[in-house]
Amino acid sequence: MDPGELQQVRQVIERSTSKVSLRELERKGFRKVKVLRSNDINELIRKAVHAAIGRANLDAQQHEQLVRESQQELRRLMKQAQKAATERAELLETNRALEAELERTRAALREAEAQIEQLPRLRAQLDEANVQRMALESRTASAEAKLGELTTLRTELEQVRAELKRVETEKRLLEELEVVKLRERIAQLEGELREARAAAPAAAAAGATGIDPATLRSLLKEVVSEVGAGRSDDGLRSEFSKLQQTLAAALANAGGRSGSQVTEADLEAAKVSIAKLFEHDADAELESNIAKVQVKESTSSGVKSTLNKLKSLRKGGSAE
Amino acid sequence: MSAEKKRPDITVGKASAPAVSAPTGPALELGKGLDIGTANLISAVQDREGNLYIKAQRNAFIDIDQDDFTRNMLTKLGVQYVILNNRMVVVGDPAFELANIFNRETRRPMSHGMISPKEADALPIMKLLIDKLLGKPQVKDEVCYFSVPAEPIDFDMNVTYHEGLFRDLLSKLGYNAKPLVEGHAVVFAELADDDFTGIGISCGGGMFNVCVSYKTIPALSFSTSRGGDWVDQNVGKVLGIKASKATAIKEKGVDLRKPVNREQQAIEIYYRELIKYTLTNIKQRFEQGSDLPSFPEPVDIVFAGGTSLVGGFTDVVRQELAKLDFPIPIKNVRRAEDPLHSVAKGCLVAAMSES
C-alpha cells in the first residue's frame, strides 16, 4: 500500500469514528478499552489483500488487474464511507440541535406550566385589586363630597369668624364706652350724694316730711285712673301736666325746698317718673326696641299707572 | 288673644282710641297695602309724587337668653327684639342669621300661609312688627288691604280664623282692614296691561296661591299647601342640615338650569317637584270645576312671591307645563318684575282704588 492510500485509510478512519473521552466511557461502564492504531489497521488490510491474491493463483497480468480493480473498489468504498461519515456527522449535528431545541421547548413548557399553576392565585389577586380599586373610588367620591362640604363649611366658618371679630370689636368698643360712661356717672352720683348730705340737715330743720316713692307711685296711679275715665285726649294731657307740676313740687319738698322753688330739673325728673310709670304698665310683658330700630325700606316706581287702568276699567272702559 | 292684650294700653300722650300719625316724611296717598306672608311681612305705600315705599320684615323670630349687655348690644346693632315671658326674642332677618350661626331653627309665626297654632307667642310680636311696618293711619279708618290665602285644595284648613284675627289686629291699629286673596293681589299688580285678565300665582314660603281673573273679577281662587318652606325642609332632610340653613343656601343664589354642587342639585330636584306638584293640582282643579271661565284668547300666567325668585324658575315652569295638557290656553309664562313685593303692591292698588 502506497503512502497515498495509507493516508486515505487514515482519513476514512478519522471520519468514521468519533472521539469519546475516557470519563464518558467510564460513565457508560467501560472501564477497559482495546486500542487499535491506524498503522496496524493499514497493515492488517494490506496483509489480508495480499493473502487473498496469493491464494487465487493469478498470473502477473491478472494480478495487476486485480490490484487495479481492488484499488478502484477501495477508492469507491472509501468515497462511500467518506460520504456516509459526512452524512452521519450532519445527522448527529442535526440530532444535537433538535435535542437542544427539544430541551428548550421542555423548559419553556415547564415554565408555562408553572405560570398556569400561578393563574388562580393571580386571578384572586386581580379580584382583590379590583375590589380595592372600587372601594378606593367610592372613598374618593365620598372624600370629594366631603371636601365640597368642607369647603362650604370653611367659607361659612370664615364668615362667622369675620362676624365674630366684628362683634368682638364692637363689644370691646362698647365696653370701653360703657366704662367711660359709668365712671362719669359714678362721679356725678358722688357729687349728688355730697350735695344731698349737705342739704339733709337743712331739710330736717325746715320740718319737711319725706315722700315714700312707692306711696307716690300708688297715688299717681289712682289719679291717672280717675282722670282717664271719660276724658278727651286734650283733657288727659292737661291733667297729666298738672300732675307733673304736683309731682315736681313734691319732689322739691322731698329735697327740702318749698313748692315755689320748683326748678326745671324737678320738672324733668317728674316727666321721667311719669313716663317710666306708664311705660311699665303699657309694656308689662312686651319690652321691645322695635320702635327704635329702623326697618328695611326700599323705593320703586309707583302704581299710579296701574291704578288709573283699574279705575278706567271700573268705569266701563278698557284698561289699555 | 292673650289676657295682656285685652288690657287697655296706657301710654303718655295717647288716648285709648288708635292714634293718627303726625305728618312726617313725604306726604302719602291714602290707602296702604300689607302682604302677610309666611316668610315675610311687607307693607307698601305711595307718596303724592308717585314714589312707592316698601318696608319688609322677615316673619321669623328666635329666643335667646337675655341680659342687659345683650339688650344694649342688639339695640346698638339695630337688631329688633321683644322681651316676652322673660325671654329675649330677636325678630326679623337677624333671627334668621342667628339661627344659622347657632345651628338652630327659627320660630315661625305662620305656617302654610296662616297663623301657626304652635306659636302662641307670635301674635303680640306680629302686632308690633305690623305696627312698625304700617305706622299710624293718616286718617281715621284709612283703608288697608291685607293679603290672605285662598282656601287650600290639598290641605284641610280654614282661613276664616286667620282672616278675622288680622282684620281685628289692623282695626285696633286704626285701619279699615280689608282682606284680598294673594293671587288676586298679583293680578292687580301685574296684569294691568291685560285688562286684569289672566292667571296670577303667588309663590310664597308656605303655599302657592292661584287666582284666575277676568277683568279684575276673580273667577276662581284657591291655594296649594307646598311652598318654599317645603323645599327648604326637604333639602334640609336630605343634606342633614337645618331648614334655615337650606333657606340661606337657596337665597344665596341658585340657578335651577345649572346646579353646580350637591346642595344646589337637591334644591333643583325639590323645586322641580314643587312646580310639578303645583301645576298638576292647578290643572286638576281647573278640570274639576264648572266655574272656570272660557277666555276668548290665550292668557298670561304671571308668577310672583319670594319662591319664584330662584334662577330659571319660569324655564322649569314652561318645561313642566309642556308635559301637561293644560285646560286654559296660555299665551305667556312670566315672572313679576318685582316678585317679592308684588302682593303688597297689589294690596296697595286695591286700597288706593277705594280711597
A228, part of any domain: yes
**Phi and psi angles of residue B337, each rounded to the nearest 5 degrees, phi first:** -65, -35
Residue A24 lies in a domain: yes
- Residue A21 lies inside a defined structural domain of this protein: yes
Q: Give percent of chain B with pLDDT exceeding 90.
A: 50
Residues on chain B touching A313 (C-beta within 8 angstroms): 195-196, 215-216
- What percentage of chain B has pLDDT greater than the value 70? 92
Final residue belonging to a domain, choices A65, A93, A117? A117
C-alpha cell, A219: 297715688
A298 contact residues in B (CB cutoff 8 A): 53-54, 56, 341
B250 touches chain A (CB under 8 A): no
Q: What is the pLDDT of residue A279?
A: 36
* CA separation for the pair A100, B230 (Å, rounded): 84
CA distance B222 to chain A (A): 23
Q: What is the pLDDT of residue B96?
A: 80
Average pLDDT, chain B: 86
Would A145 be classed as within a structural domain? Answer: no
Reading the block at residue B244, the C-alpha cell is 334655615
Domain extent listing, chain B: 28-57+134-355
- C-alpha cell at position A85: 461519515
Which long-range contacts link B158-162 to residues 24+ away (Cβ below 8 Å)? B159/B114, B161/B114, B161/B115, B162/B113, B162/B114, B162/B115
Residuewise pLDDT in 10s, chain A (320 residues): 566 666 777 777 777 788 888 888 888 888 888 887 777 887 888 788 778 777 777 788 887 888 788 788 878 888 888 898 889 889 999 999 999 999 999 999 999 999 999 999 999 999 989 888 888 888 888 888 889 889 889 989 988 988 888 888 888 888 777 777 777 878 888 888 888 777 765 544 444 444 454 554 555 555 445 444 444 444 444 555 555 565 556 555 555 554 445 555 555 554 443 334 333 333 345 778 887 777 778 887 788 889 888 888 877 765 55
Q: Which residues pair with A287 in a beta bridge?
A: B83
Q: How far is the C-alpha of A2 from the C-alpha of B16, rounded, in Å?
A: 167
Chain A interface, best mutation among B1, B46, B238, by max A CB count within 10 A: B46
Nearest CA to B139 among B180, B179, B175? B175
Could you say which residues from 71 to 90 on chain B have a Cβ atom under 8 Å away from some Cβ of chain A?
71-85
Give the pLDDT mean for B273-284: 92
Of B79, B82, B101, the CB nearest to A160: B101
**Alpha carbon of A119: minimum distance to chain B alpha carbons (Å):** 44
Whether residue B52 and residue A300 make contact (CB cut-off 8 A), yes or no, is yes
Q: Which residue of B has its CA nearest to A171?
A: B73
Of B200-204, B214-218, B345-349, the range with the lowest mean pLDDT is: B214-218
Using the CB atoms, write b or e for B118-156: b if 16+ within 10 Å. ebebbbbbbbbbbbbbbbebbeeebbbbbbbbbebeeee
Strand (E) or helix (H) holding B284: helix B262-288
Please report, for chain A, how many H helices and E strands are present, in that order: 8, 2
Q: Rounded CA gap, B264 and B254, in Å?
A: 6
Which residues does B154 contact at the CB level (< 8 Å), separation at least 6?
B224, B225, B281
Q: What is the pLDDT of residue B120?
A: 67
- What is residue B110's predicted lDDT score, i.e. its pLDDT? 87
Q: Whose CA is closest to B218, among B166, B181, B176?
A: B181
State the Cα–Cα distance between residues B287 and A232, nearest whole angstrom. Answer: 59
Q: What pLDDT is recorded for position A258? A: 47
Position A4 scores a pLDDT of 67
**Strands B175-181 vs B142-148: parallel, antiparallel or unpaired:** parallel
Amino acid at B313: F
B31: confidence class by pLDDT, cuts 50, 70, 90: very high
Strands B32-36 and B142-148: parallel
| Nearest-by-CA chain A residue for B15 | A233
The CA distance from B32 to B141, in Å, is 11
Q: CA-CA distance, B225 to A229, in Å (whole number)?
A: 48
- Torsion angle defined by CA atoms of residues A152, A154, A159 and A164, in that order, rounded to the nearest 10 degrees: 140
pLDDT digits (tens, 9 = 90+) for B228-277: 999 999 999 999 988 888 998 988 889 999 999 999 999 999 999 999 99
Within 8 A of A310 by CB-CB distance, chain B residues are: 188, 192, 196, 216, 349, 353
More confident call, B174 vs A35: B174
Q: Do B196 and A319 touch (CB under 8 A)?
A: yes
**Spatial distance between the Cα atoms of B321 and B260, rounded to a whole number of angstroms:** 25
- Which residues on chain B are in Cβ contact (under 8 Å) with A273? none
Which of A90, A117, A144 finishes a domain?
A: A117
Window 5-34 of B: residues touching A by CB (8 A cutoff) are 9-15, 17
Lowest mean pLDDT among A244-258, B7-21, B170-184: B7-21
- Name which of A197-201, B67-71, B342-346 the model is least confident about: A197-201
The domain defined by B28-57+134-355 carries CATH number 3.30.420.40 = yes
Q: How many CB pairs lie under 8 A apart between chains A and B?
A: 148
> Does residue A110 sit within a domain?
yes
Cβ pair B55:A297 closer than 8 A: yes
User: Which range has the top average pLDDT, B22-36, B170-184, B292-306?
Assistant: B170-184
| Total residues belonging to chain B | 355
How near does any CA of chain B get to the CA of A167, in Å?
Answer: 9
Find, among A151, A1, A147, the residue nearest to A78 by Cα: A1
Domain count, chain A: 2
| Enclosing domain of residue A44 | 3-117
